[in-house]
Structure 1
Amino acid sequence: MALFGKRKRKDEEPRVEEVESPDFDELDDVDQVDRADGPYDESEAPDDESPRLDLGSLRIPVPDGAQLQVEMDPAGPVRAVHVLTPIGQLTLNAYAAPRSGGLWREVCGELAEQLRTDGASVRSQTGEWGQELSASLNEVALRFVGVDGPRWMLRGVVAGPPELADTSTEALRAMLRNTIVVRGTQPMPVRTPLQIDLPQAIAEHIAQADQQQA
């Protein structure tokens, strides 16, 4: 597992394509999802001894040979950790959610509209945990998968070549399935991103790289 430094964000002009409007009324009710096989809340974490990268609020499995790319917020906190594989870039984020659940269904509709605004073609589908979005933008295939848990929502996205979309989607689902979410007990506003903490070795690697660049 190798490490990249900070991600450089580039502004690109999206290519406008024909858009299919998702019909969310035809999808299963994702408020009731089966998480018996993951993803897991910290209180449900299996004693399987599977290796996972500890990012504070998330413990994620990292495929062999994958590289990590850390995206920093301009204000300093870690915005995301991307897992780079030959079949695509996978990213997981967790957010505070209401006890009643159902946040992913709400976010999914907003995400679809944003993708359409950006010029993507969007389709809604039903997956392992209910509602999913697949999109195509600038010759990149995107798949968004969300899972509602106890007071948290876990969202995953994979971006990769269109010809590998089915394979990369299965890789994303596998990563979600084996992820552990550490929500904590502190009250937080709904949709607050759960904090990502880098392991010390990775944080030191990034600091050294920044010093060398400076």
Structure 2
Amino acid sequence: MAAEQEQAAPTRESGPWDADEPHPDTERIDLGGLRLPHNPDFDVRLASVGDQHVGVVVISGESTLQLQALAAPRSSGLWDEVKTKIRAQAKDLEEREGPFGTELDGELRVDGGSRPARYLGIDGPRWFLLAVISGEGAHDEAVAGAFVDFIKDVVVVRGDEPMAREEPIPLRRPNEQGSGDQVDERPGLNPFKRGPEISEIR
């Protein structure tokens, strides 16, 4: 089994993975543009704008992990550009080093209050994955560690079709998944605006 695992992922120890690169062949929840690892402790919900699923919200107690995959240019990543946009909306965020490189950390103002948040950005081949950990999990290492492990086993399916820069990679409900893979739908999220995506979560 160890040999199979090593053969499946020869170039890196962990993801997030591109669908076209060798990666561990484990059962995942297939949402089209994202394939998510199974974790019975997490409640997974789709976030939608209109009739399009554009992101995922993963809930663990009072903490949430939001994931959104965006199309990126072949020649360069998006994280530096996205960081600038996020900081323009939430100026109290600070840069720090995290498990995927530079991330943003601080408090977001939500519904008149504040909520701890961490923004993690991962540049992949022709895609960018934005992960936002909010609530107590932003600073609770046990919860954050479980979220980070989850992110490390996500597979991004960019596809070959032309897509605009920063266009959300479309998601869909899982087809005929078992009862343990129920994915609820939630109103949409916008990672570049302060608050609304988090205020949907209670």
| TM-score, structure 1 as length reference | 0.69
Q: 2: distance between equivalents of 1:206 and 1:152?
A: 25
| Residue of structure 1 equivalent to 2:197 | none
Q: 2: distance between equivalents of 1:145 and 1:196?
A: 20
Q: Is the 8 A contact 1:96 1:188 kept in 2?
A: yes
| Residue of structure 1 equivalent to 2:16 | 39
Which of 172, 177, 187 does residue 197 from structure 1 map onto? 172
RMSD: 2.6
Larger gyration radius, structure 1 or structure 2: 1
Q: Is the 8 A contact 2:45 2:184 kept in 1?
A: no
- Within 5 Å, give how 1:116-135 maps onto structure 2: 116=91, 121-135=92-106
Q: Is the 8 A contact 2:138 2:144 kept in 1?
A: no
| Residue of structure 2 equivalent to 1:66 | 42
| Residue of structure 1 equivalent to 2:107 | 136
Structure with the larger helix share: 1
How many corresponding residue pairs?
167
Unaligned runs of 5+ in 2: 1-10, 186-202
| TM-score, structure 2 as length reference | 0.73
| Residue of structure 1 equivalent to 2:67 | 92
Superposition misfits of 4+ residues, deviation over 6 angstroms? 204-207
| Residue of structure 1 equivalent to 2:132 | 157
User: Alpha-carbon deviation of 1:107?
Assistant: 0.5
| Residue of structure 2 equivalent to 1:54 | 30
> What one-letter code is carried by the residue in structure 2 that aligns with 1:60?
L
Report sequence identity in percent. Answer: 32
> What one-letter code is carried by the residue in structure 1 that aligns with 2:36?
I
